[in-house]
Amino acid sequence: MNNKVIVLGPGRNTRGGISTVIKEYENTKLWNDFNCKWIGTYIDKSNIHKFFYFLKGFFTFILNISRYDIIHIHISWSTTAFRKMFFFPLAKALNKKVIIHLHSAAEPVLNSKFQFPYKFMFKHADLTIFLSNGIRTELNKHFQIKKSVVLYNPCLSHKTNSKKINGKEKQILFAGTITQKKGYLDLIQAFSLIAHKYPEWELIFAGNGEIENAKGLAKDLNIENQVIFKGWVNREEIQPLFEKASIFCLPSYTEGFPMAVLDAWSYGLPVITTPVGGLTDVLIPDKNALVFEPGDINRLAKLLEELINNESLRKQISEESIKLSQEKFDISSISKQLSKLYLSFS
């Protein structure tokens, strides 16, 4: 009989990449094979709701831990690492196998003022999962890590094909939380340098965050009529945005392995992005994406214009996107890799 697994992460309806990844695993054979139980420890609500949701998760964990063999803990920034410190020592004290799954680039961990949770969990976890070789290599320089592997985030489980590439609308899509580390200011400024040449093109933002600030910048740059803010949209509502867009752009300064880029690849979108986090493992500039350094607004403007004007290049990169989503980042393949990791503890 296979090991039974508790999966600790954000709540099922919480925004962000971690919950999206767990949902993808939930729809695979792995979930039933290992009798996985998802326990949420964080929710997108007021502080009082967050507190009681955390308590509920902790007591649910206490009531169930004796019946499970593996505790798979998903963490990212320092606050999530602190929350999981309530669970980690208890799991180790009860001789459970503990997996730490880091959904972050190396920089936020190394720059954190509170590194104790990372140091403690990396040192004592039975296995640490990183999102890329680059992240693992960098953190191995600074932390004592007992054992580690690289496991990529999966693409969405739907399928697309190159026939969908033609007939797109003249839209550039950004999907994700609108924060400065995601580079939304750079994208708006870069688009403003070329928008007057292409009045039929629109820049679409799908996400919550600093929307009012973004709207103010678009207005100051006289492109507010070409920049549209959809706010936060759920997985069902975002599908037509990916299907309609002709270009996807994520100009981030730091990432773990951005689900938004994986989403774009799964929809066959040509991607413009930065070589950050796990993307450095797979980006091949001018083949499977157009790549620029974070903050290089002029270069970003040139790449946007290049894709706007070159339909054959869009089609070429789109086809590479589909290959990535159906091969390297296919959910069935990655879930099998995770299944082998669970089995290794038998």
pLDDT, tens only, 129-143:
999 999 999 999 999
Q: What's the rounded Cα separation, in Å, for the pair 210 and 179?
A: 6
Each residue's pLDDT tens digit, 282-318: 999 999 999 999 999 999 999 999 999 999 999 999 9
Percent of the chain with pLDDT over 70: 97
As a whole number, mean pLDDT of residues 255-279 equals: 93
**Is the pLDDT confidence value at 167 over 60?**
no
**Is the pLDDT confidence value at 161 over 50?**
no
Q: Which pLDDT band holds residue 346 (cuts at 50, 70, 90)?
A: confident
> Do 193 and 147 sit in the same domain of this protein?
no
> Do 189 and 135 sit in the same domain of this protein?
no
Q: Which pLDDT band holds residue 261 (cuts at 50, 70, 90)?
A: very high
Higher-confidence position of 248 and 168: 248
Take residue 188 and report the two structure tokens written for it.
């708006």
State the pLDDT at residue 163.
45
> Do 139 and 239 sit in the same domain of this protein?
no
> Do 20 and 136 sit in the same domain of this protein?
yes
Statement: the pTM of the whole predicted model exceeds 0.85: yes
Place of tokens 């945005």: 241
Tally of domains in the chain: 2
For residue 193, count other CB atoms closer than 10 A to its CB.
Answer: 17
State the pLDDT at residue 157.
61
Q: What is the CATH number of the domain that holds 56?
A: 3.40.50.2000
Q: What's the rounded Cα separation, in Å, for the pair 235 and 30?
A: 22
As a whole number, mean pLDDT of residues 250-277 equals: 94
**Is the pLDDT confidence value at 273 over 80?**
yes
Each residue's pLDDT tens digit, 67-113: 999 999 999 977 889 999 999 999 999 999 999 999 999 999 999 88
Q: What's the rounded Cα separation, in Å, for the pair 262 and 321?
A: 9
Q: Taking all residues of the chain, what is their mean pLDDT, rounded to a whole number?
A: 93
> Do 175 and 124 sit in the same domain of this protein?
no
Each residue's pLDDT tens digit, 231-260: 998 877 888 999 999 999 999 999 989 999
State the pLDDT at residue 141.
95
State the pLDDT at residue 183.
97
Domain that holds residue 127: 5-154+330-343
As a whole number, mean pLDDT of residues 214-218 equals: 97
State the pLDDT at residue 162.
44
Each residue's pLDDT tens digit, 185-209: 999 999 999 999 999 999 999 999 9
Q: Which of 90-94, 318-322, 330-334 is most confident?
A: 90-94
Higher-confidence position of 13 and 319: 319
> Do 177 and 239 sit in the same domain of this protein?
yes
Take residue 139 and report the two structure tokens written for it.
């953190």
Percent of the chain with pLDDT over 90: 83
> Do 211 and 146 sit in the same domain of this protein?
no
> Do 316 and 334 sit in the same domain of this protein?
no
> Do 133 and 86 sit in the same domain of this protein?
yes
**Is the pLDDT confidence value at 159 over 70?**
no
> Do 111 and 34 sit in the same domain of this protein?
yes
As a whole number, mean pLDDT of residues 156-166 equals: 52
> Do 238 and 116 sit in the same domain of this protein?
no
> Helix crossing, 311-326 with 259-266: angle to 10°?
110
State the pLDDT at residue 158.
57
- Three-class DSSP category at 51: helix
Q: Which pLDDT band holds residue 1 (cuts at 50, 70, 90)?
A: low
Q: What's the rounded Cα separation, in Å, for the pair 234 and 71?
A: 28
> Do 319 and 334 sit in the same domain of this protein?
no
Q: What's the rounded Cα separation, in Å, for the pair 273 and 47?
A: 34
As a whole number, mean pLDDT of residues 312-341 equals: 93
State the pLDDT at residue 186.
98
For residue 283, count other CB atoms closer than 10 A to its CB.
Answer: 18
